[in-house]
């Protein structure tokens, strides 16, 4: 009985060495810096006529992308992008006010690991 167990362990170890090597997909991520993007349209307040209607804050992340060989994708996580809309107040000393800050969409943060 013990000999049978030892032989099965030995054969399974040999079979693992004989298995074909897994290929590396060459897929990883590219670092993308944080961005503060203004709206393409102006709010049009009398005190600040060119102020944008909103700003979109995109966090720093690692964007999924085909990559150089030798890397495989890791665990992907989402990070929220913040939308900051503005409104006119009508005041001379503070013509614009922030309405609210809300999560509006997500970006994918994908880690990459070297293949072995």
12 within a domain of the structure (yes/no): no
* Cα→Cα distances 66→46, 76, 77, Å: 48, 15, 18
54 within a domain of the structure (yes/no): yes
Q: What does residue 108 show for φ and ψ, rounded to 5 degrees? A: -95, 125
2 within a domain of the structure (yes/no): no
Task: Convert the pLDDT of each residue in 31-54 to its tens digit.
Answer: 999 999 999 999 999 989 999 999
Q: What angle do CA 77, 81, 84 make, to 5 degrees?
A: 160
User: Model confidence at 10, in pLDDT bands (50, 70, 90)?
Assistant: low
Extract the runs of DSSP E, i.e. beta strands, from 1-116: 27-32, 35-38, 54-58, 61-66, 71-88, 96-98, 102-114
77 within a domain of the structure (yes/no): yes
Q: What domain range includes position 30?
A: 23-114
Task: Convert the pLDDT of each residue in 63-107 to its tens digit.
Answer: 888 876 788 888 899 999 999 999 999 999 999 999 999 999 999
Closest CA to 82 of 66, 102, 100, 62: 102
Question: Residue 53 has which token pair?
Answer: 């209607």
């Amino acid at each position: 009985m013990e000999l049978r167990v030892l032989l099965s362990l030995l054969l399974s170890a040999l079979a693992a060495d004989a298995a074909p090597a897994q290929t590396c997909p060459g897929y990883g991520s590219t670092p993308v810096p944080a961005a503060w993007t203004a709206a393409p349209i102006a709010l049009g307040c009398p005190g600040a006529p060119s102020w944008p209607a909103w700003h979109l804050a995109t966090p720093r992340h690692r964007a999924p992308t085909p990559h150089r060989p030798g890397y495989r994708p890791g665990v992907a996580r989402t990070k929220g992008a913040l939308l900051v809309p503005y409104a006119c107040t009508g005041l001379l000393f503070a013509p614009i006010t922030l309405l609210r800050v809300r999560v509006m969409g997500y970006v994918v943060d994908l880690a990459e690991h070297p293949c072995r």
